[in-house]
Amino acid sequence: MSRPHIVIVGAGFGGLSAAHSLAGAAADVTVIDRRNYHLFQPLLYQVATAGLSPAQIAQPIRSILRKASNVRVVMGRVTGVDRQRRIVKLEDREIAYDTLVLATGARHAYFGHDEWESVAPALKNIDDATGIRRRILSAFEQAEQTDDPEARRRFLTFVVIGAGPTGVEMAGAIAELAHVALRYDFRAINPRDARIVLVEGGPRVLAAFPPQLSESALRSLKRLHVEVRLGKPVSECDERGVTIDDERLEAATIVWAAGVASSSASKWLGVEKDRVGRVVVGPDLTVPGHPEIFVIGDTAHALGPNGQPLPGLAPVAKQQGAYVARLLRARIAGRTAPGPFRYRDYGAMATIGRRAAVADFGWLKVDGTLAWLLWGMIHITFLIGFRNRFVVLFDWLWSYATFQSGVRLITGPDSH
Ligand SMILES: Cc1cc2nc3c(=O)[nH]c(=O)nc-3n(C[C@H](O)[C@H](O)[C@H](O)COP(=O)(O)OP(=O)(O)OC[C@H]3O[C@@H](n4cnc5c(N)ncnc54)[C@H](O)[C@@H]3O)c2cc1C
């Protein structure tokens, strides 16, 4: 009997976890990704704010999976799926599957204002992060060069839109860059004059966390001199700044951290999707009526124990990937398949600068330095899960502790 062919699209947290767990299974596995690397997105903001370099948070997919001899890696962009012929379409070829796992993640959403994307870039991949880093560092350079006080103020104003974990982390890290890392590097300007404004349409920062942790995050942001504007949405965004409600704020650097939408998987499949475009899947993460198609991670709408859709988080995607692999191994071996997918929620964390974080483990809520140490330990553990532990641990701690200047490079085309 020929071995089944399992095609996994996307080597993010979900797809990679499925591929890892299928290593050595009696199946041929093909992992397709448009990029050649797996990215640890939770630390992307560190690349955008010149804290870490891209290679510290990304690794080639091929090298991660090199020991899994039944897993093949294909670099290519998927453009569609033919459910009837069981074919995945790439730009230049087609790949047939017996079982398909779609794990293509999410992209940013501008709530009907796609024209804002060029002036307020979002953070999703390495190119976004190095582009934002270029904008931030160039703004300091331009402020140093101009004699016009108004232009200088504009160059030294940084607006982050959206106060979820990414927005809070970005704002805190820009503030630390200005107040600590760059403090002795300029002559005409004082980087500490930089104004960092975090704008949130809702009533509090980190809305998904308990109110007491939102309050603690707000205090930490204030300590870092971040101005937080709550309850007022951005109504206009252009290359000279933003309008918040009726107030105009001139700013040379704007970062979008406000919304995500699912990948194109639901369009490829032509099946039911939710409000943000996620594919609605059954309790075993298959598409209803298609036991051979699984959708996992950020691109899936799967229900949690409380009847609410599971959040777009790395642990959700990882656990779903491992579950699908378990289910497929059982199918291949002719064993009873495991029961429905159950998410184990170990808590959520967000960091605000180098000494503050908030962590919600349900039974325990922690903030301040203790939460920050926990955040660091957990991220190091997960980050180095796929690379040489000691090298990355050392690199990461060194750059984090010393604000190393090596990554404060302006590369690529001019941004201002
Ligand atoms: C800036 C940022 C910070 C975050 N911080 C945290 C955090 O602190 N904690 C946390 O738990 N979660 C965090 N998340 C969310 C977390 O990263 C996601 O929930 C997780 O990555 C989802 O995993 P996934 O496998 O579904 O998708 P992803 O990890 O996004 O992977 C999707 C993969 O699919 C590939 N792909 C997409 N389209 C195609 C195509 N057409 N053809 C081929 N390949 C394709 C992509 O290249 C990518 O490799 C953060 C996300 C971002 C953007």
Pocket lining: 169 vs ligand 1, CB cutoff 6 Å: no
pLDDT for 343 beyond 70: yes
pLDDT for 385 beyond 80: no
What share of the chain in percent tops pLDDT 90? Answer: 76
Separation of CA 5 and ligand 1 centre (Å): 24
* Atom 30 of ligand 1: nearest residue by CA position: 105
pLDDT for 2 beyond 90: no
Pocket lining: 347 vs ligand 1, CB cutoff 6 Å: no
pTM of the model: 0.93
Please classify residue 295 by burial: count the beta carbons closer than 10 Å to its beta carbon, then call 0-12 exposed, 13-18 middle and 19+ buried: buried
CA atoms 344, 347, 351, 355: torsion sign: negative
pLDDT for 414 beyond 70: no
Partner residues linked to 262 by β-bridges: 106
pLDDT-based confidence at 386, cuts 50/70/90?
low
Mean pLDDT check: name the lowest of 168-177, 294-303, 330-339, 352-361: 352-361
Please classify residue 150 by burial: count the beta carbons closer than 10 Å to its beta carbon, then call 0-12 exposed, 13-18 middle and 19+ buried: exposed
pLDDT-based confidence at 397, cuts 50/70/90?
confident
Mean pLDDT check: name the lowest of 3-12, 93-102, 175-184: 175-184
Nearest to 185 by CA among 144, 152, 148, 223: 144
Separation of CA 320 and ligand 1 centre (Å): 13
Q: Which pLDDT does position 384 carry in this prediction?
A: 61
Say which amino acid occupies 390.
F
Taking the CA of residue 14 as reference, the ligand 1 atom at the shortest distance is 25
Pocket lining: 34 vs ligand 1, CB cutoff 6 Å: yes
Pocket lining: 200 vs ligand 1, CB cutoff 6 Å: no
Pocket lining: 29 vs ligand 1, CB cutoff 6 Å: no
- Distance between CA atoms of 249 and 197, rounded to whole angstroms? 9
φ, ψ of residue 199 in degrees (nearest 5): -110, 130
- Average pLDDT (287-297) is 97
Instruction: Determine the residue of 21, 40, 313 to mutate for testing ligand 1's pocket, defined as the one with the most ligand atoms within 8 A of the Cβ atom.
Output: 313
Q: Which pLDDT does position 181 carry in this prediction?
A: 85
* Atom 52 of ligand 1: nearest residue by CA position: 41
Separation of CA 51 and ligand 1 centre (Å): 20
- Answer whether 250's CB lies under 8 Å from 240's CB: yes
Q: Which pLDDT does position 415 carry in this prediction?
A: 46
Question: What superfamily in CATH does domain 5-34+76-108+260-333 come from?
Answer: FAD/NAD(P)-binding domain (3.50.50.60)
pLDDT for 94 beyond 80: yes
Kindly report, residue by residue over 99-148, the tens digit of the pLDDT.
Answer: 999 999 999 899 889 999 999 999 999 999 999 999 999 999 999 999 99
Using CA atoms of 58, 64, 65, 68 in order, give the dihedral in degrees to the nearest 10.
-160
Separation of CA 314 and ligand 1 centre (Å): 7
Separation of CA 218 and ligand 1 centre (Å): 27
CA atoms 385, 389, 395, 396: torsion sign: positive
Pocket lining: 277 vs ligand 1, CB cutoff 6 Å: no
Instruction: Determine the residue of 7, 13, 386 to mutate for testing ligand 1's pocket, defined as the one with the most ligand atoms within 8 A of the Cβ atom.
Output: 13
Kindly report, residue by residue over 368-382, the tens digit of the pLDDT.
Answer: 989 988 888 888 777
pLDDT for 86 beyond 50: yes
- Distance between CA atoms of 371 and 366, rounded to whole angstroms? 6
Separation of CA 183 and ligand 1 centre (Å): 34
Q: Which pLDDT does position 174 carry in this prediction?
A: 95
Pocket lining: 104 vs ligand 1, CB cutoff 6 Å: yes
Pocket lining: 123 vs ligand 1, CB cutoff 6 Å: yes
pLDDT-based confidence at 204, cuts 50/70/90?
very high
Mean pLDDT, rounded, of the chain:
92
- Give the residue numbers marked as catalytic: 169
Taking the CA of residue 108 as reference, the ligand 1 atom at the shortest distance is 53
Q: 3-state SS of the chain? A: CCCCEEEEECCCHHHHHHHHHCCCCCCEEEEEECCCEEECHHHHHHHHCCCCCHHHCEEEHHHHCCCCCCEEEEECCEEEEECCCCEEEECCCEEECCEEEECCCEEECCCCCHHHCCCCCECCCHHHHHHHHHHHHHHHHHHHHCCCHHHHHHHCEEEEECCCHHHHHHHHHHHHHHHHHCCCCCCCCCHHHCEEEEEECCCCCCCCCCHHHHHHHHHHHHHCCEEEEECCCEEEEECCEEEECCEEEECCEEEECCCEEECCHHHHHCCCECCCCCEECCCCCEECCEEEEEECHHHEECECCCCCECCCCHHHHHHHHHHHHHHHHHHHHCCCCCCCCCCCCCCEEEECCCCCEEEECCCCEEEHHHHHHHHHHHHHHHHHHHCCHHHHHHHHHHHHHHCCHHHCCCCCCCCC
Tell me whether the CATH fold assigned to 5-34+76-108+260-333 matches the one assigned to 114-258. Answer: yes
Kindly report, residue by residue over 7-59, the tens digit of the pLDDT.
Answer: 999 999 999 999 999 999 999 999 999 999 999 999 899 899 988 888 888 99
Separation of CA 197 and ligand 1 centre (Å): 26
- CATH topology for 114-258 is FAD/NAD(P)-binding domain (3.50.50)
Kindly report, residue by residue over 243-271, the tens digit of the pLDDT.
Answer: 998 899 999 999 999 988 888 999 999 99
Taking the CA of residue 10 as reference, the ligand 1 atom at the shortest distance is 34
Separation of CA 153 and ligand 1 centre (Å): 35
CB proximity list for 10: less than 8 A, separation 6 or greater = 32, 33, 102, 103, 104, 105, 263, 297, 299
Instruction: Determine the residue of 81, 104, 130, 361 to mutate for testing ligand 1's pocket, defined as the one with the most ligand atoms within 8 A of the Cβ atom.
Output: 104
pLDDT for 322 beyond 50: yes
Instruction: Please state the domain extents for the chain.
Output: 5-34+76-108+260-333, 114-258
Partner residues linked to 57 by β-bridges: none
Looking only at the bridges linking them, the beta strands covering 106-108 and 260-262 are: antiparallel
Looking only at the bridges linking them, the beta strands covering 78-82 and 241-244 are: unpaired
Pocket lining: 121 vs ligand 1, CB cutoff 6 Å: no
